[in-house]
Structure 1
């Protein structure tokens, strides 16, 4: 759908459908070197110098196109939908201030790399709340937060020996919001060697920013390893893995753990870890009710970082819409020695492959904010710490659970249930701190000669769980 044509969401889906029947054609490598060779600092000096699109129309949400450059090399076509008519946004170098970059003379229409969304809520100060840029990546925040975790519309073959495949958005159609609206709907077409797809995203910014994602995939080939609801984040070190840290900051991470609410209604918490070797975990489930990477630590003192402000990074929760069937929540923990790397990736992997020539529809809701929209009605893990044990390869662990049930009226039969395999544990202790509504579980892990030990811990009283389930994989 191009200039002056009538917009129809069904046509976006049909564009993706028809594209899947053609051989894949990679995007042209037409970005001038002056932009492709920029580092992040140089690229950040390029600024859109026009009033944000729709910013003067009392629409509540406005748009700024983003320049190509740095790692954002691929061009994407941007179209506006106004009163049902389509209008293409044409690129011009006069739309941008180039800061420390010297653009070439007579720069043609090179397109854009994506767009930024800006909210004007009531009489408050405008704030940008979402970036859609690069591959099929996008990120969002709630009011008052700083950017952190990155969502992926589609993930293909991560951590496989033949290499990951990165689909890209080819075009977006942005519907002009109604006057005074607090929502914007964006339609996109994605493309890769293995599949095409049509995506519809509705963004609603606020104290929690909500994004509804509807996607229809059209596989060109059989897709055996597909990631849906993907989230990438950074975890360099924290209280559970301080072994190799030499930094003035006590912790460096955007997300502290993976929260899951499985189809059986069990709440699971898996602290993140920066391992020495790639670790892949699969949490098998059927009809999952939600999962996400959460930032539970909200105190400045925990990070002491005046630039990144990790305590302000968003938690991102994925709520499936409809029955996702059988599959697993996958967690990849990738070794890194730099905080600029997104070394954490989680996503839902369907058990059944997607057949070539089929059409697969999926929908979910994202919640970007300070907390997940739904919290366990149980005590939750507030801290995980690990350090050298009593000797050999032994490791000492403490896990803190916090909740109202752990205050002054502790159940008399409160107990901790810990399982380890392979390996063994010893010196298991239950240490209540009712003034902080906290119970600490301390123990020592003896891995023996093993190089990976899975642990599972829960608090019980009256034969029932009174805490979420703590999961952890120890590796050297």
Structure 2
């Protein structure tokens, strides 16, 4: 987690359909356009060389406009800074771009550049006149130098409405964070350029995207191209983004990363989300809502072809789970539960996107790591999913990565197997008898796929394993709701010791696998010990 809360990030880079930070207000006075710096040579090859050379030099922090003033641009003040869309970058292109202002939660300067063709770029020079702030706004006290740009939005085309009202579908704001909207037209979880030791014993490092270069999309069927320079105390990198707008958003990403310093755990293609509680587990009187989460599980498609569903936890201490693999086919933090009545919240958790990472090349050996950090509120991003390549990561190491991010409702490559749709916990034992204090009951629900067409009288067989403990009272039955293909397996687990227990289950008939593999890490919480 960072000092920047998830709620602030979501509010300041609000979902499409919500009043935007830079919704723009038309002005009677016609602007002369963005101010641009002198032409400079630019190419993707140059940016890669520049990042490599930068990693060989001592780190220098990015400029910060007057910290005393910026610290006073809190959430409310930041919300009054409306970007004037008549100053949009590429206003006549398929997808215009607007810029976002520094503030308390985004205090560092990020340089913006317009690619003008012929291998040249011109920096977009900050001018306070790009923003409508209202009389007496604290931001008006900032000087023109250094730049007060902190991030950017990519907007829908003019065909969706007046340029002052078109909504954003991709946003880059804060450190190396970025988001896309899903099929439901809403943002939720985040991706990052890189993650350095999330959830580790020491403080996590958050490198910044220091500069961006933009190429417009000529048509709505073509991508917006964004180049980015990443820089931090331990790393420098060159990134290329191809941003596609379709039913949701697809981002093709190429990254070249160079380490200045040794990194303990190098997190590539990182995803960040929020999970507080769900039907699986909820502290008594924690909240009035049935569930609160942006994502409810980690989904993995391994290099060997296995489909794995790992429900998320909110443990009482940091938990890091490592899933060894070679050349994974994909992984993602998913929001599977899309029934409003399971949330009852006006912030529309049931519409939050899932984000799937698809490697576009062989990644070799490594691990998908899941980092779960305790939280007692929904304001924190407490979940990380990252790819960690095998081996040590000393200073001077270089990494190349090519992958695709899908922001949509579900995994873009369904397996055809039955899916895990719920994980429920309770006290173990049998009705009418005393419940043993050391026994927990697990109910795992699977639905769809081959379960739908099972011959009458066929009972799926659960294949169960646990890292320790003893199973009892095991049975499998159709969920009595009249829905074809909806089954649940139930079992008790007698627990010995207080360390986490790793559980694994899938359904089969004979040699036929019927379901994806359910993995779960059970934590004996402090109040249960």
TM-score > 0.5, shorter chain as reference: yes
Aligned twin of 2:27: none
Q: Which residue of structure 2 lines up, in the alignment, with residue 291 of structure 1?
A: 331
Q: 1:117: how far off?
A: 0.8
Contact 1:6/1:86 (<8 A) preserved = yes
Note the C-alpha offset of 1:450.
Answer: 3.0
Aligned partner of 2:352 in structure 1 is 313
CA distances 1:325-378 after superposition (whole Å, capped 9, x unpaired): 111110011001110100001100011234433432111100001111111220
Aligned to 2:154: 117
> Residues 237-281 of structure 1, C-alpha deviation per residue, up to 9 Å, x if partnerless?
111111344322110000010000011100000000111111110
Q: CA deviation at 1:104?
A: 4.2
Q: Quick one: which of 461, 477, 481 aligns to 1:415?
A: 461
Cα offset for 1:397? 1.6
Give yes or no for the alignment of 1:447 onto 2:505: no
Which moves more between the two structures, 135-144 or 351-360?
351-360
Deviations 1:276-323 (A, max 9, x none): 1111100111111100000001111110001x2101101000011111
Cα distance per residue 1:360-400 (max 9 Å; x no partner): 21111000011111112200001111123333142222111
Displacement of 1:174 in angstroms is: 0.7
In structure 1, the partner of 2:441 is 396
**SS of equivalent residue, structure 2 residue 191:** strand
Whole-Å separation in 2 of the counterparts to 1:124 and 1:379 = 42
What is the match of residue 141 of structure 2?
105
Contact between 2:182 and 2:354, CA under 8 Å: does it hold in 1? no
Instruction: Describe the shift of the 1:30–1:38 C-alpha distance in structure 2 as closer, same or farther (beyond 3 A).
Output: closer
Alpha-carbon shift at residue 214 of structure 1 (Å): 0.4
Residue 436 to residue 121, structure 1, CA distance change in 2 (3 Å): farther
- Separation of aligned partners in 2, 1:21 and 1:265: 40
Once the two structures are overlaid, the 10-residue window that deviates more, 137-146 or 32-41, is 32-41
Matches of 2:437 and 2:501 in 1, distance apart? 16
Aligned counterpart in structure 2 of residue 374 of structure 1, from 395, 406, 413? 413
**1:30, distance to aligned residue in structure 2 (A):** 3.4
Cα contact 1:127–1:143 (8 A) shared by 2:
no
Residues 50-72 of structure 1: CA distance to partner in whole angstroms, max 9, x if unpaired? 32625641x22110111001211
Q: Which moved more, 1:443-452 or 1:371-380?
A: 443-452
Unaligned runs of 5+ in 1: none
1:163 matched to 2:203: yes
Structure 1 segments (4+ residues) deviating >6 Å: none
Contact map agreement 1:54 1:61 (CA 8 A) in 2: no
Inter-partner Cα distance in structure 2 for 1:294 and 1:263: 19
State the partner residue of 2:4.
none
Q: TM-score w.r.t. structure 2 length? A: 0.85
Label 1:230 to 1:377 Cα distance change in 2 as closer, same or farther (>3 A).
same
1:66 counterpart residue number: 100
| Length, aligned pairs only | 474
Q: Tell me, what secondary structure is at the counterpart of 1:273?
A: coil
Does 2:286 align with 1:250?
no
Question: What are the superposed Cα offsets for residues 427-448 of structure 1, whole Å, 9 maximum, x if unpaired?
Answer: 1110114633211111222213
